[in-house]
Amino acid sequence: MTVFLIIVVIALLGLTFWQMSKILKLSNSTDHDSNQVANNTDNKNQGYLMIAFVSFLYLLMAYSFWNWSDLYLPEAASEHGKDYDRLMFISIGLIMFVQVITQFLLFFFAYKYKGAKGRRALFYADNDKLEFIWTIIPVIVLAGLIIYGLFTWSDIMNIEDDEDALVVEIYAYQFGWKARYSGEDNTLGKANVRFIEGTNVVGVDESDSYAKDDKITTELHLPVNRPVLFKFRSQDVLHSAYFPFFRAQMNVVPGMITQFSFTPTITSEEMKNSEYMVDKVKELNQIRKEKSKELVANGDVALDPYEFEYYLLCNKICGISHFNMQMKIVVEEEEDFNSWIAEQEAFGESLKKEEEQKVTSNN
Amino acid sequence: MSVSANAAIAHDHHDDHGHHKETFITKYIFSQDHKMIGKQFLITGLVMGAIGIFMSILFRIQLAWPEEASWVFEMFLGDKYSTDGVMNPDAYLALVTIHGTIMVFFVLTAGLSGTFSNLLIPLQIGARDMASGFMNMLSYWIFLLSSIIMLSSLFVESGPASAGWTIYPPLSALPEAIPGSGTGMTLWLVSLALFIAQSLMGSLNYIVTVINMRTEGMSMTRLPLSIWALFVTAIIGVVSFPVLLSAALMLIMDRSFGTSFFLSDIYIKGEVLAHQGGSPVLFEHLFWFLGHPEVYIVLLPALGITSEVIATNSRKPIFGYRAMVASILAIAFLSTIVWGHHMFVSGMNPFLGSVFTFTTLLIAIPSAVKSFNYITTLWKGNLQMNPGMLFSIGLVSTFITGGLTGIILGDSTLDINVHDTYFVIAHFHLVMGISALYGLFAGVYHWFPKMFGRMMNKNLGYVHFWVTAVGAYGVFFPMHFIGMAGLPRRYYTNTNFPYFDDLANVNVIITVFAIITALVQLVFIYNFIHSIFFGKKASKNPWNSNTLEWTTPVEHIHGNWPGEIPKVYRWPYDYSKLNKEESDYVIAGQDFIPQDVPLQDNEEELSH
C-alpha cells in the first residue's frame, strides 16, 4: 500500500515537473508578443477555467462527504451528546447550503462576465436595499444559531449540585492519566502536588479523613445512566481531557481544578455491538491485517487485531509523548461498576500497607 | 500641461528636497525610501515563507507515512533529529511550532502588511514618503534581526521552541517539560519581543502618515480600500501587540527570575517547584488578546488588496464602498473582543464562554457583507483575468469556505468536541492562511510593475494560481473530516490509536496535495526572480487603474512624483462611469478616470 502510494506521489511529482518545463518553454515563446496583461484569449480561457474549477470544488466536496462522512464519530454516548450532534448537523447543513450557493455565484459570475473586447461593465456603486437584505439575513440566521447554541451550552456547563452524581477526579501527568474515585462519602480528599511521596503518586493529603476511602485507578470505569462530575487536576503542564465519544472536553490546568459533567448512556458492550462499530472495527482490522503483512515481510511484529474501547486522550500539546497519552474508559451497568470498584484498593488501605512494609523492613 | 505649469512644478520640486547623492548602501541597504523598504520586507517575507512552507512539508511527510525512514529527513534534519532517517517526536513538535510562528508573524504579518503598507500608503494617499523614514528603516532592520534570531534558534543544542506557536506555559516555561523550552524558547521570546517592537514602529508610522499626509482632496472617504484596510490593521496592531509583549515579558520572568505569573503547583522530574499562585489561563487570555486580532492583522490587508484588485480588473467600482469601510471598522472593533473563543474549554467561566460566542458570531455579519459585496462587484463586470485578479477571486472563495466553518468553532457548544482537532487546522488555514497568502500573491502580481518596473509573466502566473487553488482545497477540505473524527492536532503519529487507522489514507491524500502545492510555488519564485531582471518593461499604468501610485513614473525616484504631488478630485473607483447622455464613458474611449482628473462637464457628481 505504502509503496504504491509513494509511486503515485513520485509519478505526480514527475508529472508536475514535466508540466512545469513545458510551461516554461511555452511562456518563453510568447514573451515577445505580449505585454503580460491579460488579453481577450486569456480572459476567455481563464473564464472557462473558472467553471472547471467550481466543478472540481463541487466534486471534491461531494467526494469528501460521500467517502468520509462515516468518519464522523458514532452516535454520542452521553446524554447531552444528542443535542450536540443535532446542533452540529443543523450547522453543517446550513453552512454547506451557503457554501454551495456562494461558490457557484462567485465562479459563475467570474465565468459569465469574463472580459471581452467591446464589453461595457455596469457602473453599479451601491444599492442600500440589497446591502440591507444581506446584512439582515445573516443577522437573523446567526441569532437563531446563537440562541440555540447558548441554550445547549448552558445545559452542558451548568453543573447542578446533584446528590446522585458520581464524583471522579481525572489526574493528568506527562504522559498518562489516573482516575481517583471519591469512595463511599462521595467526597474527594484534599490533594496537592506537594503531598506526592512514594506510593502517594497523585498527592492526596494523608491527614484528610475524606481521603481515606478514595480509590486511585488506571482505568476509568463509569456506571451507565448516572451523572458523573469530573474534577480535573494536572501535575505538571497543561493537558486537555478529551472524551470524543461523549462529546466532552476540558483542559487540565496545573494550579486549578476544572470540571465537566456528563451522563454516559451507552455501555461499552452496546457500543461494540452497534452496527456502526461492528463495520468500523471490521474495516480497521482489514487495514491492520494488510499493514501486518508488510511488517512481517520486513521482519517486524504483526499488529494486534483491534477491539473497540472508549478512550480518553490528551488534546493539548504537553511534551514529547503527547501523541500517546491515553486511558481506557469502560461504561458498564451499575452492578458491574459496583463490583469493579469494590475490588479497587482504597487510599487508606494502601497507605497502611506501606507503613507495615516500612515497619517490617526496619525490623 | 502648459509650459508655465511645468516651470512651477520644477520650482516646487526643488523646494521640497535637495538632491543628495545616493550610494549603493543608502539606496539598497540602509534605505529610508518607503518603496525600497517595502521590497526589503517582501523579499525577507518570501524567504521566511519558503522556509515555513518547507517545514510543513517535512511534518506532512511524517504524518502521511508515520515513522518511516526517508532520505529527506536524513538530509535536512540530520542524525540529531532523525534516527536512521526517521523523524523524532521532538523534531516534529519543533517543526510545527516554528512553522506556525514563521507563517503567522514573519510571513503574513511582516511580509504582507509590512510590504504593502510601506509600498502603498505613501503612493496611494499622495505623499512623498512615510512620516518618519528613519523609523521606517529601523522597523525593517529590527524585523530582519528578529528573523535571524528566530532562524538561529533552529541550530541550538537543545532544539528550537517546541511548545506550539501559542507557547502556553508551563510547557514553554520549563526546560524539564520539553527540551525545546530551554535556549530555543529564550531565543523565540527575544525574537518575538523584537518583532513586536518593529511592528509598533511600523504601525505608528502608517497611522500618522495616513492621518496627516494625504494630498489635497484626498478625504478619508476618497481613500482606496487598500489604505483603509492597512490603516485599520495598523491600529489593531498598536492596540494588541503590546499585550503580547507583556505576556512575553512575564513569561521571561517566570522562566529566568523565579516569578510565578503563570505557574503554580507543579511537580516535574521528581521535584515540586517553588512556583505558587500563578495561572496558565492568564497567559492564554493575554496571548489571545493579541492572537485573535492577529488573525485580522493578517487578513485585513489581504482583503484590502483584493478590493483594489477586483475593482480594477472588473472595470467596475467596488460595490458598497461605505459598507466595505464600515465592515473593516466593525471587524476591527469586534476582533478585539472575541479572543475568548480560543478558550471555551480552558477552564474559564462558562458564562464568559457565552459572551464570547455572541461576539464571535457577530463577526460573521461584516464578513458576510464583504463576501456578498465582492460577488456583486464581479456581477456585470468586464473581468480582466490577470493573475492578481485570479488570486483575488481565489481569496473570496477560501474566505467563504474557511469563514463558514468558523460558525461551528465560534459556537461554544460545538467547539467542545472539535477544539484542537484537525477541524481547527482546516478552518484557520483556509480562512487566514490560504486567504492571506492569496492576498499576498494578488498584491505581488498587481504591484510588481510598481515595485520593479517590469511585468511578471502571466502564463506562469496562471499555472501558479490554478495548481495552488486546486492543491490548497485538496489539502484543507478533506482535513475537516479527520477533525470531525476526533483526531487531535500536534500528534507526532496517530498509530497509537488503532481507531484512527482508517484516517491514514486521508492523511496521504493531504500530503500529496501539499507537496504538489508547495512545488508549484517554485514557479512563482522563478517568475518573481526572473521578472525582476528580465521581465517585460512595464508601462506607467499597465492595469488602467485609477489610484495615485500609477501616476508616478516607472523609474523610482526619491519623493515619488517628479513634480508637484497630484491633487485628488474623486474617489478611486470611477471605472466604466458613463457621461450624462450615457452614450460613452466620461472620458471618451477610456473606461477609467484616475483620481487626479477633475470633475468633467459631462459627468454627474455622485456621492459614494
Tens digits of residue pLDDT in B20-43: 567 777 777 788 899 999 999 999
Q: Specify the fold of A166-270+307-345.
A: Immunoglobulin-like (2.60.40)
- The better pLDDT of the pair B80, A110 is held by A110
Number of domains in chain B: 1
User: For residue B143, is it within any domain?
Assistant: yes
Once rounded to an integer, what is the mean pLDDT over residues B90-111?
95
Confidence of residue B8 (pLDDT cuts 50, 70, 90): very low
CB contact under 8 A, B408 and A91: yes
Domain range annotation of chain A: 166-270+307-345
Once rounded to an integer, what is the mean pLDDT over residues B248-263?
94
Q: What is the structure's pLDDT at B240? A: 93
Q: Is the predicted pLDDT of residue A143 greater than 50, yes or no?
A: yes
User: For residue B258, is it within any domain?
Assistant: yes
Q: Is the predicted pLDDT of residue B11 greater than 80, yes or no?
A: no
Half-sphere exposure of B460 (CA within 13 A, CB side): 28
A261 touches chain B (CB under 8 A): no
Point out the residue among A98, A121, A324 whose CB comes nearest to the CB of B316: A121
Q: What is the structure's pLDDT at A5? A: 59
Taking a C-beta distance cutoff of 8 angstroms, is the pair B430, B482 a contact?
Answer: no
Taking a C-beta distance cutoff of 8 angstroms, is the pair B237, B199 a contact?
Answer: yes
Confidence of residue A3 (pLDDT cuts 50, 70, 90): low
User: Measured between CA atoms, how close is A266 to chain B, in angstroms?
Assistant: 18
The CATH number of the domain where B207 resides is what? 1.20.210.10
Confidence of residue A29 (pLDDT cuts 50, 70, 90): low
Beta carbons within 10 angstroms of residue B346's beta carbon: 23
Percent of chain B surpassing pLDDT 90: 87
| Across B6-15, B215-224, B402-411, least confident range | B6-15
**Which ipTM score applies to this complex?**
0.92
In chain B, which residue's Cα lies nearest the Cα of A103?
Answer: B397
C-alpha cell at position B317: 467600482
Confidence of residue A330 (pLDDT cuts 50, 70, 90): very high
Residue A249's H or E segment, with its range, is: strand A248-252
* Spatial CA neighbour of A234 closest among B265, B479, B526: B265
Q: Is the predicted pLDDT of residue B583 greater than 90, yes or no?
A: no
CB contact under 8 A, A313 and B411: no
CB contact under 8 A, B492 and A314: no
Taking only the tens place, the pLDDT of each residue in B224-237 is 999 999 999 999 99
* Three-state secondary-structure class, residue B152: helix
**Alpha-carbon span B504 to B66, nearest angstrom:** 9
Q: Is the predicted pLDDT of residue B400 greater than 90, yes or no?
A: yes
B346 touches chain A (CB under 8 A): yes
**Alpha-carbon span B487 to B483, nearest angstrom:** 5
| Across A132-141, A351-360, B530-539, least confident range | A351-360
Q: What is the structure's pLDDT at B7? A: 39
Point out the residue among A43, A149, A284 whose CB comes nearest to the CB of B384: A43
Taking a C-beta distance cutoff of 8 angstroms, is the pair B453, B537 a contact?
Answer: yes
Taking a C-beta distance cutoff of 8 angstroms, is the pair B566, B519 a contact?
Answer: no
Interface of A with B in 214-253 (CB under 8 A): 232, 235-238, 240, 242, 244-245, 247-251, 253
Q: Is the predicted pLDDT of residue A146 greater than 50, yes or no?
A: yes
Interface of B with A in 365-424 (CB under 8 A): 365, 368-369, 371-376, 378-386, 389-390, 393, 396-397, 400-401, 404-405, 407-408, 411-414, 416-417, 419-421
A341 touches chain B (CB under 8 A): no
Q: What is the structure's pLDDT at A31? A: 47
Q: Where are the beta strands (DSSP E) in B116-245?
A: none
Q: Is the predicted pLDDT of residue B582 greater than 80, yes or no?
A: yes
Residues of chain B in contact with residue A255, where contact means CB-CB under 8 angstroms, are 263-266, 277-280
In chain A, which residue's Cα lies nearest the Cα of B384?
Answer: A115
Q: What is the structure's pLDDT at B2? A: 37
Taking only the tens place, the pLDDT of each residue in A203-221 is 999 888 899 899 999 999 9
User: For residue B435, is it within any domain?
Assistant: no
Q: Is the predicted pLDDT of residue B477 greater than 90, yes or no?
A: yes
CA angle A102, A106, A107 (to 5 degrees): 120
Beta carbons within 10 angstroms of residue A270's beta carbon: 14
B177 touches chain A (CB under 8 A): yes
Interface of A with B in 58-77 (CB under 8 A): 60-61, 64, 68-69, 71-73
Q: What is the structure's pLDDT at B19? A: 52
Percent of chain A surpassing pLDDT 90: 68
Once rounded to an integer, what is the mean pLDDT over residues B239-262?
94
**What does pLDDT average to over chain B?**
92
Point out the residue among A57, A174, A313 whose CB comes nearest to the CB of B473: A57
Once rounded to an integer, what is the mean pLDDT over residues A278-286?
94
Q: What is the structure's pLDDT at A358? A: 76
User: For residue B109, is it within any domain?
Assistant: yes
Q: Which residue has the cell 511534551?
A: A319
Point out the residue among A123, A237, A244 whose CB comes nearest to the CB of B170: A237
User: Measured between CA atoms, how close is A138 to chain B, in angstroms?
Assistant: 6
C-alpha cell at position B7: 516651470
Taking only the tens place, the pLDDT of each residue in A44-87 is 999 999 999 999 999 999 999 999 999 999 999 999 999 999 99
User: For residue B247, is it within any domain?
Assistant: yes
Taking only the tens place, the pLDDT of each residue in B130-151 is 999 999 999 999 999 999 999 9
Q: What secondary structure does DSSP assign to B61-113, as a single string? A: HHHHSTT---HHHHHHHHHHHEETTEEPHHHHHHHHHHHHHIIIIIIIIIIII
Taking a C-beta distance cutoff of 8 angstroms, is the pair B92, B67 a contact?
Answer: no
User: For residue B71, is it within any domain?
Assistant: yes
Q: What is the structure's pLDDT at B253? A: 95
